[in-house]
């Protein structure tokens, strides 16, 4: 039986000390995440201060301007230059075919004329 410093016997049993084994933490998906996985920062300073794990890239939306940032780090943890992008809403006028340069394309009429020239030559080669 063990004795305390004051001479009284210890009343608890003496067990060997067991090492604590940490239990793995399993991430649980939250169904009530208000950000939906979007990282919001305040300005470029907030984007520069946001921590990024080595070898990863994070996209951050600016809560103050129509800007988003891409922040990357190399596999060794060295930060890459912050990339800044402006974004704006696309309107119907911006996505109409009027903005497409058609100089490098042929019309259906030109295609059919070329096809009429090539098909007889192709048939003649097949019959030889």
Domain layout of the chain by residue ranges: 39-90+102-127
pTM, two decimals, is: 0.46
d(CA 111, CA 122): 16
- Nearest of 35, 90, 33, 31 to residue 59 by alpha carbon: 35
Predicted confidence at residue 30, as pLDDT, reads 47
Residue 73 CB burial class (10 angstroms; 0-12, 13-18, ≥19): middle
Contact 70, 87 (CB under 8 A): no
pLDDT at 48: 93
User: Residues 15-56: pLDDT tens digits?
Assistant: 666 666 666 665 554 455 566 778 999 999 999 999 999 999
- Residue 57: phi and psi, rounded to 5, are -130, 135
């Amino acid at each position: 039986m063990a004795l305390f410093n004051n001479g009284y016997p210890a009343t608890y049993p003496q067990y060997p000390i067991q090492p604590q084994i940490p239990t793995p933490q399993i991430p649980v998906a939250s169904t009530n995440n208000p950000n939906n996985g979007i990282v919001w920062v305040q300005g470029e300073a907030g984007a520069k201060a946001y921590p990024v794990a080595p070898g990863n890239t994070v996209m951050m939306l600016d809560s103050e301007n129509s800007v988003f940032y891409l922040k990357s780090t190399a596999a060794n943890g060295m930060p890459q230059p912050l990339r800044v992008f402006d974004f704006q809403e696309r309107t119907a006028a911006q996505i109409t075919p009027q903005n497409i340069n058609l100089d490098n394309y042929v019309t259906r009429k030109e295609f059919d004329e070329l096809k009429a020239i090539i098909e007889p030559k192709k048939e003649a080669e097949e019959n030889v």
